Amino acid sequence: MDNGQKPLCRAWVIGGGRFGRKAVRRFLERGNKTDITVVEKDQEQCSCFKLLPVTCFRQDGVRFLIEQLGKGFSPDWIIPMVPFHLAFEWIKQMLSSELELVPLTAAENIVKQFPNTIRGDKGRFFTSLADFLCPEDCPALDHICTVRKKARPYLLYQKIETEKIDGFSTIVIQSQQIFPGIGGYRPEDLYHALELVKTSKGPILLSTACKCHGVVDLFETHPYNKKAGY
C-alpha cells in the first residue's frame, strides 16, 4: 500500500470473477485486518469465496452500492472489478429519477487527444499509457514505468483532468493503488463526482483513471420528465 494512505479497515470488492478473486487474495496474503465484502451476482462465482474469511453478497454491484452506501456501512475503499464503468453506472442510476444520462459519440478529434485508445460502447472509450500487456502485479511506481524502466510522460488521471475539450466539463475519479495491480477509490470520491454531474451544464466527460489506465464516458444530461415518463 502506498505510503500516506490510511490503514485498510473495510473494503468492498465489486465483482467476484477472476480479478475480484485476485483482489481478495492480495488482501489475505498481506495479512491486513480488513473486513472484506465481495459483491457478485453469479452464484457460481460466489461459491469460490465460501471457505475464505470474507462476506459475499449475491447481488448486482451497482444495486448494492445504491442500497448500502451512506447507510452507516460504507467502506474505506471500493475496489471495482466488474467489466463495465462502475462509477458511471452508479451515477446514472442514482440520478435516474431526475436526470437522464445520454451517451454522446466520442468524436475522433477527442479520442486522439488521449493515448492508446480503444472504443467501447457508444460514448465510452478506454485509454492507456501502455501499448503492451501490463504485469498483473505492477507496483505502479510514481514516475517510472515498471516495464519500460523509463519515466512516464505524465500521470494519466492528471492528463484527462487537465486536457481541454471544447464544451465539455471534465470529471475524474482517481483510482489509487492499494496493492500491486489492485486499485480503488473512496465513497466520497463517488459522491463528489455525483454532485459535479448534477451541477454541470452541457456535455460531460467522466473518467475513472489511475496513473496509467482509464475509462472515459462522454454524455449529456437531460431532465427527467416524470409526467411524460422519460
Looking up residue 64, the CATH number of its domain turns out to be 3.40.50.720
Residues 137 and 193 in one domain: yes
What pLDDT is recorded for position 223? 92
Q: In this model, does residue 62 exceed pLDDT 90?
A: yes
Q: In this model, does residue 25 exceed pLDDT 70?
A: yes
Residues 114 and 146 in one domain: yes
* Boundaries of domain holding 3: 1-83
Residues 93 and 62 in one domain: no
What pLDDT is recorded for position 103? 97
Lowest mean pLDDT among 1-15, 70-84, 122-136, 211-225: 1-15
What pLDDT is recorded for position 207? 98
Residues 68 and 160 in one domain: no
Burial of 28 (0-12, 13-18, 19+ CB in 10 A): middle
Residues 121 and 187 in one domain: yes
Domain stop point among 54, 83, 112: 83
Domain stop point among 35, 68, 83: 83
Burial of 224 (0-12, 13-18, 19+ CB in 10 A): middle
Instruction: Provide the pLDDT confidence category of residue 4 given band limits of 50, 70 and 90.
Output: very low
Domain stop point among 17, 52, 83: 83
Which tens digit of pLDDT belongs to each residue from 112-150?
A: 999 999 999 899 999 999 999 898 888 888 788 988 888
What pLDDT is recorded for position 141? 82
pTM, two decimal places: 0.91
Instruction: Provide the pLDDT confidence category of residue 55 given band limits of 50, 70 and 90.
Output: very high
What pLDDT is recorded for position 8? 58
Residues 152 and 209 in one domain: yes
What pLDDT is recorded for position 71? 78
The number of folded domains in the chain is: 2
Question: With helix as H, strand as E and coil as C, how does 141-187 read?
Answer: CCCECCCCCCECCCCHHHHHHHCCCCCCEEEEEECEEEECCEEEECH
Mean pLDDT of the chain: 91
Residues 59 and 27 in one domain: yes
What pLDDT is recorded for position 3? 42
Q: In this model, does residue 173 exceed pLDDT 80?
A: yes
Residues 106 and 161 in one domain: yes
What pLDDT is recorded for position 192? 97
Residues 95 and 28 in one domain: no
Indicate the helix (H) or strand (E) that contains 95.
none
Q: In this model, does residue 39 exceed pLDDT 50?
A: yes
Residues 67 and 163 in one domain: no
- CB burial string 132-161: b at 16+ within 10 A, e below: eebeeebebeeeebeeeeeebeebbbebbe
**Separation between Cα atoms, residue 56 and residue 72, nearest integer Å:** 18
Residues 34 and 78 in one domain: yes
What pLDDT is recorded for position 1? 46
Residues 155 and 126 in one domain: yes
